[in-house]
Amino acid sequence: MAEKKKRRRADSDSNSASQPFKNLLKSDAQILQILKSVTSSSSSSTSKPLTLADLALSSTCREVSDLSLSSVQSTIESLVLQLTHQILSGQGFSFIVPSRSSSNQLYVPELDRIVLKDKSTVRPFSHISSVRKTTITAKILSLVHQLCLKNIHVTKRDLFYTDVKLFQDQVQSDAVLDDVSCMLGCTRSSLNVIAAEKGVVVGRLIFSDNGDMIDCTKMGMGGKAIPPNIDRVGDMQSDALFILLVEKDAAYIRLAEDRFYNRFPCIIVTAKGQPDVATRLFLKKMKMELKLPVLALVDSDPYGLKILSVYGCGSKNMSYDSANLTTPDIKWLGIRPSDLDKYKIPEQCRLPMTEQDIKTGKDLLEEDFVKKNPGWVEELNLMVKTKQKAEIQALSSFGFQYLSEVYLPLKLQQQDWL
Amino acid sequence: MAEKKKRRRADSDSNSASQPFKNLLKSDAQILQILKSVTSSSSSSTSKPLTLADLALSSTCREVSDLSLSSVQSTIESLVLQLTHQILSGQGFSFIVPSRSSSNQLYVPELDRIVLKDKSTVRPFSHISSVRKTTITAKILSLVHQLCLKNIHVTKRDLFYTDVKLFQDQVQSDAVLDDVSCMLGCTRSSLNVIAAEKGVVVGRLIFSDNGDMIDCTKMGMGGKAIPPNIDRVGDMQSDALFILLVEKDAAYIRLAEDRFYNRFPCIIVTAKGQPDVATRLFLKKMKMELKLPVLALVDSDPYGLKILSVYGCGSKNMSYDSANLTTPDIKWLGIRPSDLDKYKIPEQCRLPMTEQDIKTGKDLLEEDFVKKNPGWVEELNLMVKTKQKAEIQALSSFGFQYLSEVYLPLKLQQQDWL
């Protein structure tokens, strides 16, 4: 009892004037009302997403799609049959492989993502420069065919170890795996080759993982690990009003412990730094199935924006798969360069940008996906001009719970995202 | 239907002679019988663990223990009171801080872990060399006191950001945080300061995470993320016969997809590489509460054994907390250097050890915790002599499921661990 009293006293202490803008906060009910209007307009506006075909680009650009395991299997079998005919008719053994080089990539503003153009190269067996790569390609096709028959998932590392002598190092088997995706016209996850899992999710989401129903409101503070294989994820249900995409662990932990998703119904997801394929696929699936706005909480530095862009428009080396990996229309909630002054982040919690940071920032200003959003350009210009950056954690200078108790609620109330 | 048939054919293909030792496998029921006898002998032999007091070392060695939040709070308050008396009586303001240097560390073979000896240093405010560190110490104590009052968890990064001007960089606040743990005689998790979560768990375990009951047999392929704060983990129940500690993700994914824990009741846990504090605490808690043997599956290289040793005996820079972080009596299941020949791992799947690898291996041979296990010494000598290493994934050369279908069952059947 004595202890209880002590705690209460401490609580009221902390709600002091040292937390800027706390006085601006409306009631939770009012903020929820604001969010509901946003969500309903967002989900109604989500018409059928544009495709390459809509833009009459399907003949000059190439994208892969999710294929069922049996389609992958029969595509491989048709390809092998075709190769056999080719050999029997005296034309020799060669693969036609789509080029994945950067000269064959294109940013399509209407789609807001990078896609692959239609250039291909011939990979003949009977040439000294390509005989090894052709053999590797045939081996990878045969391994993927095995995975189809067995219906199991393996990692890229597993693939590599099936024939170290042939592949020599994993870079070679990985590269050909991407080639095979392009050749078959399917996503890498359709090949049942998966990357290590890294992300976690918590909040107002129910989904099935390999047949087990998972309720993410009942996952404690640790949350649910995002499954490495998206094809066994399904049955998504949610009463959330938005998805909160968090760059890093520390902020995720704060929000999970405070059960922020119970105060403002949302789904909180993080890849703990660089986005991995599993988290990107999971986010995309949530956005598509639940039609919720995605708000991103990242550090105020060029890498924060870069991470946001990987979720949003894809990374260059997997551009052939951008349609499946990218989540359109992610909003930049914070921490934005203009927030540093607006929220009076103390000088000592801001960090000077290094030369490399500034260069990365300037490079981003040249990217099409930044340019098309004037608000982002303005923010990024401010960052490069002030040469200051700040982590999400900088908000802790106003108290450990400032993030969940003032900053985020106020952002939501003011619909302050770009 | 046609597809089903195709798959069956492929399955029987793969069960060919290319999987060494498959013919040695007994039935699952027989292997389970073997495991049950092991588990029952293991749990009965776990008498009360030895402590420093039992060894009459409690006056010369120092260990911290888990304290409740209110004990931490009152310990801080007593300390501050004592400091006030000290100042008022004219003795000035100084902290007595246990030394955490390596000269103050000791490996205790009876406990099989590294502990801290009893040397302390004085940290006076009125000295130019220690005034900053004394101020930082006072600040950290006050922050931890706040955490006690609010009953929330924060990360080390959050602590740092409360006063960047004072701490300058996070290394300084982190170091003093460890000092404060030692001064108060409590574990770092008792201070409610947590590290980012990294580990996942799946299999025959039910536990509560922050009040939510988690059934780890129903966590699909992704598994349950291990919570960052062990003090909110409880109510562990299990019908498992052992805990399988896996070094890396890829092997974890294979076992999770194959639901290995349903064939041989077990709990599968991984920190995905270097063990983090949360996973170490979770493993320790499972071992203590469930009294199950822990079998480790790591790469056959010096780092695999090093990772095993961190789980088992602790890391040097947190030696003051070794009693709480270490799990005694972890068995080295595989991949062991002698397995490479025994399981006929093809030459091309073995990798030559680098100079650095060999040096690390030789250094390990000098460590007390290796020396006390003759089986480990023998294996490590073999590794250093053959100069060969291999990853768990090397088993994929016999088929992707060789690990879960032959290698592990045979290891269990033969009780082949050290």
Longest dimension (CA), chain A: 92
Instruction: Determine, for residues B348 and A164 on separate chains, whether the beta-carbon distance falls below 8 Å.
Output: yes
Among A194, A220, A254, the residue with its CB nearest the CB of B253 is A194
Among B73, B214, B219, the residue with its CB nearest the CB of A220 is B214
Cα(A252)–Cα(B198) distance, rounded to whole angstroms? 13
Identity of the highest mean pLDDT range in A35-49, A363-377, B37-51, B71-85: B71-85
Residues of B in contact with A253 (CB under 8 A): 153, 155, 194, 196-197, 228
Among A3, A209, A221, the residue with its CB nearest the CB of B221 is A209
For residues A389 and A306, the answer to whether their CB atoms sit within 8 Å is: no
CATH no. of B21-48+196-413: 3.40.1360.10
pLDDT tens sequence across A59-80:
788 778 889 999 999 999 999 9
Least confident of A185-189, B126-130, B145-149: A185-189
Handedness of CA A383, A388, A391, A392 (dihedral sign): negative
Instruction: Determine, for residues A150 and B14 on separate chains, whether the beta-carbon distance falls below 8 Å.
Output: yes
Residues of B in contact with A154 (CB under 8 A): 254, 396, 400
Domains A61-194 and A197-413 share a fold: no
Among B7, B224, B395, the residue with its CB nearest the CB of A222 is B224
Provide the residue type at B258 as one letter: D
Residue B316 has pLDDT above 80, yes or no: no
Does residue B366 sit in helix, strand or coil?
A: coil
Question: Could you state, in order of their start, the residue ranges of all structural domains in chain A?
Answer: 61-194, 197-413
Least confident of B322-326, B382-386, B407-411: B322-326
Residue B8 has pLDDT above 60, yes or no: no
| pLDDT value for A47 | 56
CA closest to A201 among chain B residues: B225
Distance from CA of A178 to the nearest CA of B (A): 19
Provide the residue type at A10 as one letter: A
Does residue B85 sit in helix, strand or coil?
A: helix
Among B164, B219, B225, the residue with its CB nearest the CB of A200 is B225
Return per-residue pLDDT of chain A as tens, 418 residues.
444 444 444 444 444 457 888 888 999 898 888 888 877 766 554 456 677 778 877 778 877 888 999 999 999 999 999 999 999 999 999 999 998 887 888 878 777 777 888 889 999 999 999 999 999 999 999 999 999 998 888 888 888 888 888 898 889 999 999 999 999 989 888 999 987 778 999 999 999 998 899 999 999 888 999 998 888 899 999 999 999 999 988 899 899 999 999 999 999 999 988 898 899 999 999 999 999 999 999 999 999 999 998 998 877 767 777 778 889 889 999 899 999 999 998 888 888 999 999 999 999 999 888 888 999 999 999 999 999 999 998 998 888 899 999 999 999 999 999 9
CATH no. of A61-194: 1.10.10.10
| pLDDT value for A405 | 92
Cα(B26)–Cα(B28) distance, rounded to whole angstroms? 6
B340: Cβ–Cβ under 8 A, 6 or more apart, which residues?
A: B300, B350, B386, B388, B390
Least Cα distance to B99 among B319, B315, B322, B314 occurs for: B319
Instruction: Determine, for residues A211 and B220 on separate chains, whether the beta-carbon distance falls below 8 Å.
Output: yes
Residue B1 has pLDDT above 70, yes or no: no
| pLDDT value for B43 | 59
Among B161, B194, B258, the residue with its CB nearest the CB of A396 is B161
DSSP line for A183-241: HHTB-TGGGTEEPPP--EEEES-EEEETTEEEEGGGSTTT-EEPPS-GGGEEEEE---S
Q: Which residue has the higher pLDDT, B178 or A313?
A: B178
Q: Report whether B299 belongs to an annotated binding site.
A: yes
Distances (CA, A) of B222 to A55, A104, A246, B225, B305: 38, 35, 19, 9, 26
Chain B interface disruption, residue of A75, A253, A268, A347, most B CBs within 10 A: A253
Residues of B in contact with A209 (CB under 8 A): 219-222
Instruction: Determine, for residues B257 and A153 on separate chains, whether the beta-carbon distance falls below 8 Å.
Output: yes
Least Cα distance to A132 among A185, A82, A95, A178 occurs for: A95
Q: Which residue has the higher pLDDT, B264 or A318?
A: B264
| pLDDT value for B42 | 61
Among B213, B253, B348, the residue with its CB nearest the CB of A165 is B348
| pLDDT value for A249 | 85
Least Cα distance to B204 among B191, B186, B187, B217 occurs for: B217
For residues A135 and A78, the answer to whether their CB atoms sit within 8 Å is: no
Residues of A in contact with B160 (CB under 8 A): 393
Q: Please, which residues bridge with residue B244 across strands?
A: B268, B295
Q: Which residue has the higher pLDDT, B230 or B124?
A: B124
Residues of A in contact with B257 (CB under 8 A): 152-153, 210, 229
Instruction: Determine, for residues A400 and B10 on separate chains, whether the beta-carbon distance falls below 8 Å.
Output: no
CA closest to B4 among chain A residues: A149
Chain B interface disruption, residue of A15, A153, A158, A349, most B CBs within 10 A: A158
Residue B382 has pLDDT above 50, yes or no: yes
Q: Is A49 exposed, middle or buried (0-12, 13-18, 19+ CB in 10 A)?
A: exposed
A256: Cβ–Cβ under 8 A, 6 or more apart, which residues?
A: A202, A221, A222, A223, A268
Confidence of residue B155 (pLDDT cuts 50, 70, 90): confident
Strands A200-203 and A224-225: antiparallel
Please give the annotated binding residues of A for Mg(2+), written as ranges: 247, 299
B402: Cβ–Cβ under 8 A, 6 or more apart, which residues?
A: B19, B395, B396
Instruction: Determine, for residues A253 and B153 on separate chains, whether the beta-carbon distance falls below 8 Å.
Output: yes
Instruction: Determine, for residues A400 and B154 on separate chains, whether the beta-carbon distance falls below 8 Å.
Output: yes
Provide the residue type at B162 as one letter: T
Instruction: Determine, for residues B161 and A253 on separate chains, whether the beta-carbon distance falls below 8 Å.
Output: no
Does residue B329 sit in helix, strand or coil?
A: coil
Confidence of residue B123 (pLDDT cuts 50, 70, 90): very high
Distance from CA of A73 to the nearest CA of B (A): 10
Residues of B in contact with A7 (CB under 8 A): 149-151
Cα(B265)–Cα(B259) distance, rounded to whole angstroms? 10
Distance from CA of A380 to the nearest CA of B (A): 23
Least Cα distance to B319 among B52, B41, B94, B95 occurs for: B52
Confidence of residue B110 (pLDDT cuts 50, 70, 90): confident
CA A281-A282-A286 angle, 5° bins:
115
Instruction: Determine, for residues A197 and B232 on separate chains, whether the beta-carbon distance falls below 8 Å.
Output: no
For residues B296 and B373, the answer to whether their CB atoms sit within 8 Å is: no
Does residue A412 sit in helix, strand or coil?
A: helix
Q: Which residue has the higher pLDDT, A392 or B116?
A: A392
**Which residue of the set B107, B161, B252, B320 is catalytic?**
B161
Does the annotation mark A303 as catalytic?
no
Least confident of A181-195, A346-360, B39-53, B351-365: B39-53
| pLDDT value for A42 | 61
CATH no. of A197-413: 3.40.1360.10
- Percentage, residues of chain B above pLDDT 70: 94
Q: What is the dihedral of CA B282, B283, B288, B289, to 10 degrees?
A: 60
Provide the residue type at B257 as one letter: E
| pLDDT value for A131 | 95
Chain A interface disruption, residue of B11, B161, B189, most A CBs within 10 A: B161
DSSP line for A289-354: HH---EEEE--BSHHHHHHHHHHHH--GGGGGGHHHH--S-EEEEE--HHHHHHTT--GGGSEEPP
Give the number of A-B residue pairs with CB atoms closer than 8 Å: 212
Residue B60 has pLDDT above 60, yes or no: yes
Residue B303 burial (CB count, 10 A): 17
DSSP line for B257-325: HTTHHHHS-EEEEE-SSSPPHHHHHHHHHHHHHH---EEEE--BSHHHHHHHHHHHH--GGGGGGHHHH
| pLDDT value for A346 | 87
Residues of B in contact with A250 (CB under 8 A): 155, 157-158, 196
Chain B interface disruption, residue of A165, A197, A258, A340, most B CBs within 10 A: A197
Task: Tell me the angle at which helices A355-365 and A374-386 cross, rounded to the nearest 10 degrees.
Answer: 160
Does residue B380 sit in helix, strand or coil?
A: helix
